[in-house]
Amino acid sequence: MRDTIVTSGANSVSSNAGETRWNLADARKIYNLPFNDLLFRAQSVHRAHFDPNTVQMSRLLSIKTGGCAEDCGYCSQSAHYPTGLKASKLMEVERVITEARKAKEGGATRYCMGAAWRSPKERDMEAIVAMVRGVKALGMETCMTLGMLSPAQSERLADAGLDYYNHNVDTSERFYSEIITTRTFADRLETLDNVREAGIKVCAGGILGMGETVDDRISMLVTLANLPAAPESVPINMLIPIPGSKLADAPPVDPIEFVRTIALARILMPLSHVRLSAGRTDMTDEMQALCFFAGANSIFVGETLLTADNPGEDHDGALFRRLGLKPMELEPAEMEPAE
């Protein structure tokens, strides 16, 4: 398995991916720039690669909720914590496709499906594949998050036409064991390797507000930027403290520090979609506007994110109108269903 790259290497061109390699010291210097300078640099990078006034709209559906064997300290779905969430069985394929159709009608171009598993069991793979094919046939991008994947499972999902696989690294390698003990940071990277080798695009990011240091946040982004290819999608989540979970009493993240992290993600990974993900219900409109200016260009729409609240379409629509933002459209090549 590939060695973990966290802080090693120089800020120079990589031979294996043609992308910039970053080290912690250089990334820290960027993060600590005067705020206006940081945002100007991030916005300049953003404009070089994206329409600055379009935002990708994704919808997330929990296809199997609760009862997860992992002990992720932030999660309402872990069986290790008394969060009060009742476990459910895997959702029926037709219901998933019906919900995806509604999401498309509401303006979403990417449909993300999440199951609370350590890893999918073989008995569930047939239904998972059918969900991917069904949603793909609607002309939407497909994304799944199912826990750890083997090479064979990754290949099977790729054959079904899965576009993206989400598997967050959550935090830095140093801090990881403070949040999760049932799997390792290296396990996370191994799944990302399996997914990439199968030809599926990678969606990987992290969570802010779990007690990590600023250097942990920077290190997390350096790890992602220094993968053989940077993730095509990088969700940055603000912790939603879940009653009963290990992090129920975690203090809130400083808004300026959160925006700085978004800006650094944009600079380190200029071609990636940076998603302003969980926690938007606790962000002011002004904070979200700064995140969009700093380079965030993807959000989840809908009332819920798996089990947590999310701003509704009415609020998002009003904010987009105030900011002059519009939904990002899929390119024709991205809309072709799997054969």
Residues forming the active site: 68, 72, 75, 112, 143, 203, 275
Separation of first and last alpha carbons in the chain: 32
Whether residue 159 contacts residue 199, with contact meaning beta carbons closer than 8 Å, is answered with no
Cβ count near 314 (within 10 Å): 8
CA atoms of 23 and 268, how far apart (whole Å) = 10
CA atoms of 40 and 35, how far apart (whole Å) = 9
How big is the CA angle at 21 (ends 20 and 27), to the nearest 5 degrees? Answer: 100
Cβ count near 330 (within 10 Å): 14
Burial per residue of 18-29, b for 16 or more beta-carbon CB atoms within 10 angstroms, e otherwise? ebbbbbbebbbe
Residue 209 CA: distances (Å) to CA of 248, 272, 321: 11, 23, 30
Please list the helix, strand and coil fractions of the chain in percent, rounded to the nearest 5, in that order: 40, 15, 45
DSSP code per residue over 226-289:
TSSS--SEEEEEEP-PPTTSTTTTPPPPPHHHHHHHHHHHHHHSTTSEEEE-TTGGGS-HHHHH
CA atoms of 171 and 218, how far apart (whole Å) = 9
Residue 249 CA: distances (Å) to CA of 255, 280, 305: 18, 18, 21
